[in-house]
Amino acid sequence: MTALMYTLGVVLFVVGVAASIGLHELGHMVPAKRFGVKVTQYFVGFGRTVWSTRRGETEYGVKAVPLGGYVKLVGMLPPGPNDDPTKVRTSNTGMFTQLISDARAAEYELVEPGDEDRLFYRLPWWKKVIVMAGGPTVNLVLAFLLFGSVFMLHGVPTPTTTISQVSDCVIAADAQSANLPPRKCTAKDPVAPAKAAGLRIGDRIVSFNGQKVASWDTLTTAIRANRDGTATIVVARDGKLVTSRTSTTVSPRPESVDHPDRLVKVGFLGVAPTSVLVKHGPGYVVSTMVDYTGKTVVALGAMPARLVDVSKAALGLEPRRSDSPMSVVGASRVAGEVASSNATPNGDKFFGLLALLGGINLFVGLFNFIPLLPLDGGHIAGALYEALRRAVARLLHRPDPGYFDVAKLLPVAYIMAGVILVMSVVLIYADIVAPVRLG
């Protein structure tokens, strides 16, 4: 049964990723067709064609490897300054010059008489932005809807003041272990203050040092600020109030959930809360998505450093961090583990998979807005630059500089494609030999 549920989780996740890819490409294709651009292909996946059909001038299909997709918009590159749109030069000197020439030639193989006004590069700059931003925008909308479904229909795990776990000992955190599963207690580890005070699972903490405890955050703040001072704790147990006394101990702890590597010496008691699901409204969804977006942007900026850590884990030099970036292979493994967990209710499994898909869509959407080719953001940047230089030319009464030649940035596109390929290989290899584990 566990193997079956694991497989089902992986299959459902892969289907969800493929659907997200298909919708991303629709985000490009629909406005492109609306604006009259010739679209010859719409495919989900890469590699060998599994199935395809032609509707009008466009071939729709699915390929063997569902790790991406593409829409063929004819005329993405303008002809060179001395080229006829249908007769591009085929010989040049210099590697990059030849690559650019070959790319132009490939662009115009599908141009037929009468297509001259249907080429993508001839669109006004704002239409180019709409077409290229359509794909990643769809991913961001999907992320919003998926997370919104989780927050509003299922709920968010929210800690209460009821104890779910009492630590047996005090294990100091360090920068390396902050994102790793906790180790077991040893004879050298001191007894946790909560255990020494006789606190039990199921106790509801009512007050701490005379201060009423209204929430888990209130309790956490009070414990951390108490450092190694005495602590008088009142708990509700079996319908009665029970008072316990102990002393918290100073121990290195992560500064916050968002900064697990930043350790601070604070008071430690040794209890964990019971969580309950709390459903939220649209306002919470919006504010949380803004927060998630900011964190994802920060994570994108830190990606090079994080890849170094992933590489070390893949080589066995250090353990794999629980918040490590993953490939689709690693995310599929996590989906399988979520679906096959015997301790997780089916509802939590389903909405857990939705949240995982939401995270994938949020990352893909923001990643594609990076203003470098071959990402969508590179084409958006080219269109905006085109608009800017034409506006400057009009302001200074200079001749119209014409369309921006994106082909000049193809060397950057090839370098970026190589970087993305290497990044993908590193992540996939690490997800196979040193995968991120749940719990």
Taking the C-alpha atoms of residue 309 and residue 315, their distance in angstroms, rounded to an integer, is 10
The 3-state DSSP class for residue 366 equals: helix
Concerning whether 25 is annotated as a catalytic residue, the answer is yes
The 3-state DSSP class for residue 260 equals: coil
Tokens encoding 313? 């884990």
**Would you say 203 and 237 are in contact if contact means Cβ atoms under 8 Å apart?**
yes
Torsion of CA 173, 179, 184, 188, to 10 degrees: -20
**Among 25, 107, 337, 386, the one annotated catalytic:** 25
- Strands 240-247 and 39-55 come out as unpaired
Nearest-CA neighbor of 299 among 249, 252, 359?
359
**Would you say 46 and 67 are in contact if contact means Cβ atoms under 8 Å apart?**
yes
Taking the C-alpha atoms of residue 203 and residue 214, their distance in angstroms, rounded to an integer, is 14
Taking the C-alpha atoms of residue 433 and residue 287, their distance in angstroms, rounded to an integer, is 37
Give the type of residue at 181.
P
Taking the C-alpha atoms of residue 10 and residue 17, their distance in angstroms, rounded to an integer, is 10
Nearest-CA neighbor of 428 among 71, 136, 67?
67
Cite the active site residues. 25
